[in-house]
Structure 1
Amino acid sequence: MSREVLYHKIAKIIEAQILSGTLRIGDKLPSLRSVQKIHGISLNTAKQTFLELESKSLIESRARSGYYVSISSQRKLALPSISKPDLTAKEKNPDELINKIYESLNRKDIRQFSLGIPDDSLLPIAKLNKSVIKITRDLGNKGVEIEPAQGNENFRRSIAKWALVLEGKLTGDDFVTTPGTMNAIFNCLTAVTKSGDTIAVESPVYFGILQLAKSMGLNVIELPTDPVFGVDIDALKKIIHKVNAVCLVSNFNNPMGSLMPDTTKRRLVEMLTFYNVPLIEDDLFGNLYFGASRPKPCKVYDEAGIVMWCGGISKTLAPGYRIGWVAPGKFKNKIISQKLLQTVSMPSLYQEVIADFMEFGGYDQHLRKLRQTLHTNCLKYQCTIEDHFPANTKISQPQGGFFLWLELDERIDTAELYDLAIEQKLSFAPGRMFTQHDQFNNCMRLNFALQWDDNLENDLRRLGQFFKKAL
């Protein structure tokens, strides 16, 4: 086992002891030499173990005394409430608010906590650029040829090889490439619904799904959602007779960050199979897990081909490449026919670049580093929010992805305060963006896939002070 993997594994053991309360605030950890002897590792590896725990604010060093469990390792604030959308309430369109957020994205003087993409500094841009040069040279005249509508063969094969979580159930022929994950979801909705149909989604839900559904003339039913365990399957069962399709993020929901347990995923697929209702599964964040292994998608439990598993690289590797995919099950031929009508085919260059990077460019190494950075950032954000936001703030505890969902004092309206925050050069995503109803007005989403430094920490503190003054 490599030194990097070994120190990470030992750090996880100690982290679990801290989070479970076995090691409590103020407890002294074994010395570096004790850890070295206990695990049979080098002193260097023991130091790396402690450095990782320290970077996550789980332990702290005290001069001439050793390492202790940090006071910031224990959570102070409660989790956000389980959502309870009022299905009888009138719709309240968030489009104006969404447009306002997008208008601020090009302003470099604003701290963009509202963004839904990782910071450039977290991406292997130089390595990707080298791959572009290499592939451009290797493709030759093939770079200008039209590909089959199903997508680049090398790329589809690479996705299948990387989809180890699916236990070898899919091959490259089971995938269709798309211009981004949202396009994959659009194609799925087009394949299984028509204007006037109804889809069920989480609540809160990614605003892009709401906009997509509206543009297609679809009705949307928002379902109660737990900030830890995801959508309420019993609530879905009660309205299943009204639904033509279900669209969910099973792993690290955007914006709450919830993770649906495997037992719930299996039950969900079995229920939808029984009622013959297709599931469009957005698994865009699945590779950004903080635990020991990648969570399974619902697709693992799909025997009837009703799950349409969507993914992409915009959150992990190259947002601007606009490359996504879908494993559409029994709807594959319909998806290919739609893509042929819409785009004929996709450019081969960037598909080949990503295939090459997955094969030879250290994609796994990049993901390991990115996951560690995101986990560390998440913990640092939580500590800063606990110290500087209003005392009754509630905050999510995601096990992956890169969003935090905050529920503030009921007197605060994040949408109304947004313009004032922009004057302070601070941008966030108000909770009203993530629903079609008049709810989540005191909530907000923050992106922690940014480069953590003193300036970022100061801006997060300023945001907390801003909301304190609003009370």
Structure 2
Amino acid sequence: MAKYQDLVEQLKRQIQSGVWRAGDKLPSLRKQAEHSGLSLMTVLHAYQLLESQGWLISQARSGYKVAPRLVTSELHPVPAAVSGTEQVDINEFIFDVLQAGKNPHMVNFGFAYPDPGLYPRYHVTRALAAAARSMPVSNSFDNLPPGNQELRTLIAKRYAAKGIAVAPDEIVITAGALEALNLSLQACTRPGDWVVVESPTFYGALQSLQRLGLKALSVRTDPQTGIDLDSLERALQSHDVKACWLMSNHQNPLGFTLSNDKKQRIVERLQRYQVALIEDDVYSELYHGNEPLPAMRTFDNSGNTMLCSSFSKSLVAGLRIGWVAAGKRAVEIQKLQLMSTLATSAPIQRTLVHYLTSRNYESHLRQLRKKLHDRKAKMAQLLSSLLPDEVKVLNQGGGYFLWLELPKHIDAMVIYQALLRDNVSIAPGKMFALTDEFNHCIRLNASFELDQPRKQALKLLCERIAAQIQE
């Protein structure tokens, strides 16, 4: 197939799937040629052919636009390919939801971390005591950015065992993964810049964009296969994007893991547009099966990916130790950290060094993965037996979240507020988007053992959902 025909078929597919809609202006000939690697004449030939077939219309000095279609209403409308939000304003709502979940009497399915009972608290506490006894007075200086040398080396070795080449010198230890992600975002953006996120996405990403005065480009994301590549392409073509914040393994809230092929294609696409990749990889240790999951960083040799993770989901949440393998931005991130938190807790860094060198972390992870898989399967089974057929329960391999898709007309916030009065908390879909597209969805934490109070709480949830559907 000739090169212009490849472009013709690609644009037809994008128009048919709603990536480009009637009236949308396509990238200019120059911009399309620049990013596709084709010549101006090849792009012009493709555009002219699409115009002759009725897909595009051209206007003097306005370029090419998608032609109006004869059928303007769709039986099954698809979500917007790209949704731009110039002013992110979600923090107050998320704050209210998280505060409500702090009630100690609450059965909390909206909790973001795994069941604390799954953590090796006894061994971590002993490691903390040993670290405190052996810590020299000068240690606080040794743990200034980029952080404890031993800990960074241990993290680099763990990456090496997975086939990811990360040097200890590019790792910056942070106060949890969220600080790593925020510092990464600061290192490659300025207020007013556009940043690509998934739709739906982790609410912490939306909070970070709001705090830094950044604009959000929410890109259509399939619950099973992840971010739509054609929609991502449109976002990169139509906006001056500076960064892309993605979660490729056990995405929160949907739970999907990107295929290796898709991970590689995303990296290649972002490199072509010179867009920084911020990879949120906090759930990668919680895979199901025997094979670890590669990060997107595996496919990047440009230093343009900032790979962020932590021990909060796999060891102990309260330690608040994360890191970023920062690539070419390692020094810049160190400088930013020095101006904000100054340094990460020296005793806690030493605690992790002591634990990782004296305990069998891999044995703990194997047990953790098995328990999470079993508990998630049991909850999914129970929900499927209790919920009406109209509700879809999405249970993907690994991680510990379940995603419920209710009929489109149902507002999960009504269910959320009713359950709060019964001391049951869920994470409504409104937390994970800047539009109303996922207001009918619910995320549930499935990491806790299904004791009688939790079974009763799930039964109540299902009754509330059924009642809403029947109204």
TM-score, scaled relative to structure 2: 0.79
Partner of 1:170: 166
Aligned with residue 124 of structure 1, among 109, 120, 131:
120
> C-alpha offsets along residues 222-246 of structure 1, whole Å, 9 cap, x if unaligned?
1111112211122111121311110
1:135 and 2:131 are equivalent in the alignment: yes
Does residue 185 of the first structure (1) align with residue 195 of the second (2)? no
Q: Corresponding residue for 1:74?
A: none
The size of the alignment, in residue pairs, is 391
Deviations 1:390-439 (A, max 9, x none): 22111212211111111112232111232211112211000011001122
Alpha-carbon separation, structure 2, partners of 1:251 and 1:83: 23
Q: 1:388 aligns with which of 386, 395, 398?
A: 386
Gaps of 5+ in 1: 1-80
Equivalent residue, structure 1, for 2:347: 349
Q: Structure 1 residues 88, 149: CA separation in 2 closer, same or farther (over 3 Å shift)? A: closer
The residue type equivalent to 2:450 in the other structure is: W
Distance (whole Å) between structure 1 residues aligned to residue 192 and residue 164 of structure 2: 37
Matching residue of 1:40: none
Tell me how far apart the structure 2 counterparts of residues 451 and 145 of structure 1 sit (CA, whole Å): 43
1:447 aligned residue (445, 448, 451): 445
Segments of 5+ residues of structure 2 without an aligned counterpart are 1-76
Aligned partners of 2:88 and 2:210 also within 8 Å: no
Partner of 2:256: 258
Closer, same or farther in 2 for the Cα pair 1:289/1:382, shift >3 Å? same
* Greater displacement, 144-153 / 314-323: 144-153
How far apart are the structure 2 equivalents of 1:204 and 1:213? 15
Q: Does 1:225 align with 2:221?
A: yes
CA distance in 2, matches of 1:279, 1:180: 19
Number of the residue aligned with 1:429: 427
What one-letter code is carried by the residue in structure 2 that aligns with 1:292? Answer: N
Q: 2 CA distance for matches of 1:358 and 1:108?
A: 32
Closer, same or farther: CA 401–165 of 1 in aligned 2, 3 Å: farther
Q: Quote the residue 1:469 is aligned against.
A: 467
Q: 2:101 maps to which residue?
A: 105
Q: Give the 3 Å change call, closer, same or farther, for CA 168–106 of structure 1 in structure 2.
A: closer
SS in structure 2 opposite 1:199? strand
Deviation at residue 349 of structure 1 after TM alignment: 0.9
For the Cα contact (< 8 Å) 2:91–2:210, is it kept in 1?
no
Retained in 2: the 8 A contact 1:431–1:441? yes
Structure 1 residue 460: Cα displacement? 1.5
For 2:393, give the aligned amino acid.
I
Q: How far apart, in 2, do the equivalents of 1:281 and 1:143 lie?
A: 30
Q: Distance in 1 between matches of 2:443 and 2:296?
A: 25
Which residue of 386, 411, 417 corresponds with 1:413?
411
- Write the distance in 1 (CA, Å) between the matches of 2:181 and 2:136: 33
Tell me which amino acid in the other structure corresponds to 1:207: Y
Distance in 2 (alpha carbons) for counterparts of 1:262 and 1:380:
29
**Corresponding letter in the other structure for 1:261:** S
Q: Which amino acid aligns with 1:201?
A: V
Query: For residues 106 and 338 of structure 2, what CA distance do their matches in structure 1 show?
Result: 41
Q: Equivalent of 1:376, from 374, 377, 381? A: 374
- SS across alignment from 1:284: coil
Instruction: Report runs of 4+ in structure 1 exceeding 6 Å deviation.
Output: 88-92
Q: Name the amino acid aligned to 2:194.
A: T
| Alignment correspondent of 1:323 | 321
Rounded Cα–Cα distance in structure 2 between residues aligned with 1:437 and 1:189:
22
Deviation readout 1:91-135 (Å, 9 max, x if unpaired): 884444322212222212111000101122111111110111111
Q: 2:307 aligns with which of 306, 309, 312?
A: 309
Say which is worse superposed, 124-133 or 342-351, in terms of deviation.
342-351
Quote the Cα distance in structure 1 between the aligned partners of 2:108 and 2:79.
26
**Judging changes above 3 Å, is the alpha-carbon distance between structure 1 residues 455 and 82 closer, same or farther for their aligned structure 2 residues?**
farther
2:190 pairs, out of 182, 188, 194, with 194
* Residues 165 and 294 in structure 1, CA contact (< 8 A), matched pair in contact too: no
Highest RCO, 1 vs 2 (Cα 8 Å, sep ≥ 6): 1
Distance 2:128 2:380 in 1: 38
Give the superposition deviation at 1:90. 9.3
8 A Cα contact 2:177 2:321, kept in partner: yes
Q: Contact 2:219–2:235 at 8 Å: present in 1 too?
A: no
Residue equivalent to 2:200: 204
Structure 2 Cα separation of the partners of residues 432 and 94 of structure 1: 10
Query: Tell me, what secondary structure is at the counterpart of 2:450?
Result: coil
**Cα gap change, 1:406 to 1:85, in 2 (>3 Å):** farther
Contact kept, 8 Å, 2:143 with 2:344, in 1: the verdict is yes
- 2:332 is matched with 334
Q: Measure how far apart 1:255 and its partner are.
A: 0.2
**Percent sequence identity over matched residues?**
31
Q: Which amino acid aligns with 1:246?
A: C
How far the C-alpha of 1:256 sits from its partner, in A, is: 0.2
Change (3 A) 1:433 1:104: same
| Contact preservation (8 Å) 1:84, 1:225 | no
Corresponding residue number in structure 2 for 1:367:
365
**Partner Cα separation in structure 2 for residue 100 and residue 435 of structure 1:** 16
1:161 and 1:455 mapped to 2: Cα distance? 42
- The residue that corresponds to 2:151 in the other structure is 155
SS at match of 1:287: helix
Deviation per CA, 1:332-386, whole angstroms, max 9, x where unpaired?
A: 1111111122222222111111122222222111111110011001111110110
State how far apart, in whole Å, the 1-side matches of 2:84 and 2:106 are: 38
Amino acid at match of 1:282: D
CA distance in 2, matches of 1:210, 1:182: 12
**For residues 300 and 195 of structure 1, what CA distance do their matches in structure 2 show?**
30
Tell me if the contact between 1:193 and 1:244 (Cα under 8 Å) persists in the aligned partners: yes
* 3-state SS of paired residue (1:163): helix
